[in-house]
Structure 1
Amino acid sequence: MKRIFDLLSALTGLLLTFPILLVISLIIVLSDGWPIFFKQQRVGKGNKLFMLYKFRSMTVLKSAEKGSFDAGNSSRVTSIGRILRKTKLDELPQLINVLKGDMSVVGPRPEVEKWTQVYPERWAKILSVRPGITDNASIKFRDEEAILNQAVDPIACYRNEILPVKLGIYEEYVDSRSFWGDVKIVISTILAVVK
């Protein structure tokens, strides 16, 4: 049932937002050039690596594709990128990941490999399900970039303060996931974005 929900949601989402996707693509090219998409290797279900897609919101950094992580560094964010991140429109291309089966609409957010090697015993449980576009941790840490920007040591802040809380939320999701629980998370995400 979850996979059917994912496929129907992704197809409907792509069809409904197609004009928006075209406009965003055009704005990115005209304001900041190519490429349109940011691609980065993430860890999925069963530790399988996949390429995650987003609209590019930062200046190009080659090492980013392999999972480089500039915690709290917003200096490379473009002007259009700021708007895309604030509205979460940069996440729309992940509907393609859902169609491909790499991700679900709802599930623990996929991490770069570096961070799945921290607290590996906890990740083993979390990676037993497909990662998602949204979840309760995404809603709770909607201002994560701002938190990291204010931290004295953003990497330590992410590793020791943010990540453990996220992992707890992910574990709770794995233990209690349900169709109606997913629907509730989708609604909560939409409400958080339009606030």
Structure 2
Amino acid sequence: RDALAVDGVVAQAAALHESGVRVRTLLQFYEEWLGKLPVGELERASLFFDISEVHQVRYARFKRMVDLGVGLVGLVALAIAIPVVWVLDLVANRGPLWYRQERVGRGGETFSILKFRTMAPGPAPAEGTEWTAQDDPRVTPFGRILRASHLDELPQMVNIVRGDLSVVGPRPEQPRYVRQLSATLPFYGMRHLVRPGLTGWAQVKYGYAGDEEDSMEKLQYEFFYLRHQSVRFDLRVIGRTVRSVAGTEGKGR
């Protein structure tokens, strides 16, 4: 009976398709309308092959050229910003200018991400402690300005030129969060099949993730990007990031 019902639905869908009606499955509708993939409906093998198909040599080379171009221009901007931030940091922050933190990149390899320091100096949170809050009280007043203007991210141009980061990709997480999320979220390690990014589809669509529930939502957007990544999609993400930084477009929650 179930098979007959399915056959009937397929027959109706085929008739609609032949008459010019655009027919989509619920999964396709979810993906196209919301711009994310439901993790519970995915299979590891199918997602892997979907990602592999878009890793064409031409696209990979073009993406690396874009990364180098943006990274080199960003290094010029960084050289201009360093003296200004250094002077203001001496007055307002009174601590180290730079902040390095270990992150997980492509293939699960770790690297040190570079930022302008925005928090008061102190030890890093211990393994198993709560997630870092977006309004963390350790952030200094000058650090809030750096974060609001996204200038704290500018030193990551060094990571882009070195090849640790791409301009667009899933944001790299700290190893402690990766261990935690890999144990609770399905297929979480698949996001490490590609180079992480300075910005990404999950960032422009969802924003900050402060717990596992948020991370699950962001993971669905990341999988959508992994399946559909292309030059056009990368340019779309970059454009939305620029508008967000300029304040003309807010991040969706």
The interval holding the TM-score normalised by the smaller chain is: 0.7 to 0.9
The match for 1:190 is 242
SS of residue matched to 1:168: helix
Q: Which moved more, 1:128-137 or 1:111-120?
A: 111-120
1:163-195 deviation digits (Å, cap 9, x = unpaired): 001111111111111122111111110100111
Q: Is the 8 A contact 1:137 1:166 kept in 2?
A: yes
Number of equivalenced pairs: 182
Cα 1:68/1:9, change in 2 over 3 Å: farther
For residue 83 of structure 1, what is the amino acid of its counterpart? I
For residue 150 of structure 2, what is the amino acid of its counterpart? K
Q: Is the 8 A contact 2:78 2:155 kept in 1?
A: no
SS of residue matched to 1:19: helix
Cα 1:58/1:88, change in 2 over 3 Å: same
1:34-92 deviation digits (Å, cap 9, x = unpaired): 31111110100000010011111000123259997652251111011111111211111
Distance in 2, matches of 1:114 and 1:18, equals 32
Q: Compute the TM-score of the two structures, normalised by the length of structure 2.
A: 0.66
The match for 2:91 is 30
SS of residue matched to 2:81: helix
Distance in 1, matches of 2:120 and 2:128, equals 15
Rg larger in 1 or in 2?
2
Alignment pair present for 1:74 and 2:136? yes
The match for 2:152 is 90
Q: Which moved more, 1:21-30 or 1:76-85?
A: 21-30
Cα 1:75/1:114, change in 2 over 3 Å: same
Cα 1:23/1:109, change in 2 over 3 Å: same
Q: Structure 1 residue 17: deviation in Å?
A: 4.5
The match for 1:119 is 182
Q: Compute the TM-score of the two structures, normalised by the length of structure 1.
A: 0.84
Cα 1:66/1:21, change in 2 over 3 Å: farther
Taking the TM superposition and a 5 Å limit, the aligned residue runs for 1:5-154 are 5-63=66-124, 70-72=131-133, 74-117=136-179, 118-119=181-182, 121-142=186-207, 144=208, 148=210
Cα 1:65/1:114, change in 2 over 3 Å: closer
Alignment RMSD (CA, Å)? 2.2
4+ residue stretches of structure 1 with deviation over 6 A?
A: 65-69
Cα 1:64/1:24, change in 2 over 3 Å: farther
